[in-house]
Amino acid sequence: MNCIIVDDEKMARVIIKTLCKSIKSLNLVQEFSSAIDAIKYLNENQIDLIFLDIHMPGFSGLDFIKTLKNPPKIIFTTADPQFAIEAFEYDFIVDYLLKPIELPRFIKAIKKAEKLSLSQDKFDIKINNSTDNDFYVNIDRRLIKIDLPTIYLIEAKGDYINIKTDEKNYVVHSTLKKIEGKLPDSLFLKVHRSYIINVKKIIDIEDNSVLIKKDVIPVSRSNRPELMKRLDLL
């Protein structure tokens, strides 16, 4: 992951830089003593992770993140614990490290950041146009089309949803409620608080579960009647 440090204290930057060198997956590309300089850099460059101090003269770390249109993952590095609750109101905040930062705690934070990027691409969902056959998601300022009939399962994963298609899986920073309203009722049904399925992809139904490909999906008692109505239409 390409990362930058934003901290007005030189010694703090040196320590974080040293910690970064101990993690092979991290590539420190730049460091800044000023949040303003970091903003200018980010306007022209894309990075994966920011190590960000909160208390900086003139422009705090919290002010800084409010300026970001497409924020990368951020790990706060600060000596002040009082802003932790406020910081985690932002979905892109990975962790909140208190100075002095020790290596084991630093490694734990990096693992959290890496977990968001492992094996699957992370997308912010933005439906720009929708038909009965496809919709578009905004991925790093590119519009990628997903054919709706290829989606067989959408699963809630904390603050993310996992969209499973016949060809590829997509981890999207969104909620089931948000995407449910964008899906055609003729194909999709929410069968559980954590699952939306493509009813045309069902292979088998047994008791309170359905089989889709190799996934066994639970069906809640309240959603089972609607599922059975849909099956009558198939």
Q: Over range 140-158, report the average pLDDT.
A: 81
Give pLDDT, residue 118: 55
Say how far apart CA 42 and CA 67 lie, in whole Å: 11
Both tokens assigned to 12: 């703090």
Q: Give the residue extent of every domain in the chain.
A: 2-115, 122-232
pLDDT band, residue 53 (cuts 50/70/90): very high
The string of pLDDT tens digits covering residues 76-89 is 999 988 887 777 77
CATH code: domain 2-115 is 3.40.50.2300
> 211 or 58, which is more confident?
211
Q: How far is C-alpha 98 from the geometric centre of its chain's CA atoms?
A: 23
Lowest mean pLDDT among 114-118, 211-215, 223-227: 114-118
| CATH topology (fold) of 122-232 | OB fold (Dihydrolipoamide Acetyltransferase, E2P) (2.40.50)
pLDDT in tens, 130-142: 445 777 765 555 6
Lowest mean pLDDT among 9-13, 65-69, 73-77: 65-69
What's the confidence (pLDDT) of residue 130?
47
- How far is it, in rounded angstroms, from Cα 116 to Cα 94? 9
| Nearest-angstrom CA–CA distance, 217 and 210 | 5
Mean pLDDT value of segment 29-51? 92
Contacting residues for 128 by C-beta, under 8 A, at least 6 apart: 135, 136, 138, 143
Q: How many CA atoms lie within 13 A of 52 on its CB side?
A: 32
| Residue 169 pLDDT greater than 50, yes or no | yes
Question: Considering the entire predicted model, what is its pTM?
Answer: 0.53
For 173-192, write each residue's pLDDT tens digit.
778 888 887 888 888 999 99
pLDDT band at residue 119, thresholds of 50, 70 and 90? Answer: very low
Closest CA to 32 of 42, 19, 22: 42
Greater confidence, 229 or 153? 153
Q: Is residue 129 pLDDT above 60, yes or no?
A: no
